[in-house]
């Protein structure tokens, strides 16, 4: 990374700290069984601001250059999903590390790509929230194919070797708990909300 690029990342990180320390987040609607999310007057703590600053600095290289994500092992696992975007998974990342999201969620405008959200997946709702005020979504068990298409399936044995479009089978996963963080794209429904009304196909 060039000196100018490092300066830009540092500046963005500093701006994020200031913004999070002084701004309130809109309400988040949690899924059933989860703890209540941030209220309209909820303000990020210094600890959360530091975590999000670290996440932003670590993922700045992916912001508008999807080829960097590809080079680091992220591969497409969904087509464009209204309210979310295109999901890219790194199968080598497990557990929670705020600087290493398992999934990058991108938006596309013409030929330009924009990183919008970071996402982590868990087998169940974490006992201790990895981020303050975190709320969760879910993704059903599914077969995923190399072209990014997927088909819900209760078990891997139910996955066809090819998709309807002829793409080869990639992997299967069981039911998952998801955590979205809209760190690079404003979401009026909240930092952790599973969908974003500003994202449309």
User: 115 in a domain, yes or no?
Assistant: yes
- Chain-centroid distance, C-alpha 90: 12
Based on the structure, what is the number of domains in the chain?
1
- The tokens describing 43, both together, are 């303000």
145 occurs within a structural domain: no
The answer to whether position 192 is within a domain reads no
- CB of 92 closer than 8 Å to CB of 73: yes
Report yes or no on 114 lying in a domain: yes
Instruction: Give a yes or no: residue 162 inside a domain.
Output: no
* C-alpha–C-alpha distance, residues 121 and 97, integer Å: 11
Question: What pTM value is reported for the model?
Answer: 0.80
Burial class (CB in 10 A: 0-12, 13-18, 19+), 104: buried
The count of other CB atoms within 10 Å of the CB of residue 27 is: 16
pLDDT in tens, the chain (201 residues): 433 333 333 334 434 433 443 333 333 333 323 333 333 445 779 999 999 999 999 999 999 999 999 999 999 999 999 999 999 999 999 999 999 999 999 999 999 999 999 999 999 999 999 999 999 999 999 999 999 999 999 999 999 999 999 999 999 999 999 999 999 999 999 999 999 999 987
Q: Looking at the domain assignment, is residue 147 inside a domain?
A: no
Q: Which residues pair with 176 in a beta bridge?
A: 139
Residue-number span of the structural domain to which 123 is assigned = 3-140+175-181
Q: What is the DSSP string of the chain?
A: --HHHHHHHHHHHHHHHHHHHH-B-----PPTTSPP---TT-B--HHHHHHHHHHHHHHGGGSS-HHHHHHTTEEE-S--BTTTBEEEEETT--S--TTS-SEEEEEEETTEEEEEEEEEEESS--SS-SSTT---EEE--EEEETTS-EEE-SSGGG--SB-TTSPBEEEEE--EEEEEE--SS--TT-TT-S--TT---
Q: Please tell me the distance from the alpha carbon of residue 74 to that of residue 92, in angstroms, as a whole number.
A: 9
User: In Å, how far are 55, 93, 95 from 129, measured between CA atoms?
Assistant: 16, 19, 13
CA–CA dist 74, 71 (Å, integer) = 7
Residue 126 domain-assigned (yes or no):
yes
Q: Is residue 94 part of a domain?
A: yes
């Amino acid at each position: 990374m060039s000196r100018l690029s490092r300066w830009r990342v540092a500046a963005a990180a500093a701006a994020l700290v200031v913004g999070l320390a002084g701004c309130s987040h809109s309400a988040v609607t949690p899924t059933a069984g989860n703890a209540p999310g941030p209220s309209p007057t909820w303000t990020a703590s210094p600890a959360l601001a530091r975590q999000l600053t670290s996440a932003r600095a670590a993922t700045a290289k992916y912001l508008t250059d999807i080829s960097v994500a590809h080079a680091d092992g992220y591969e497409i696992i969904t087509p464009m999903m209204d309210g979310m975007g295109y999901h890219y998974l790194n199968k080598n990342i497990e557990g929670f590390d705020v600087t290493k999201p398992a999934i990058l969620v991108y938006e596309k405008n013409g030929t330009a790509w924009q990183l919008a959200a970071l996402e982590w997946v868990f087998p169940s709702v974490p006992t201790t929230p990895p981020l303050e005020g975190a709320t969760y979504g879910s993704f059903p068990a599914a077969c995923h194919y190399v072209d990014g298409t997927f088909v819900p399936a209760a078990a891997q044995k139910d996955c066809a070797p090819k998709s309807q479009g002829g793409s080869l089978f990639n992997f299967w996963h069981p039911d998952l708990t998801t955590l979205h963080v809209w760190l690079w794209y404003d979401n009026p429904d909240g930092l952790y909300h599973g969908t974003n009304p500003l994202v449309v196909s």
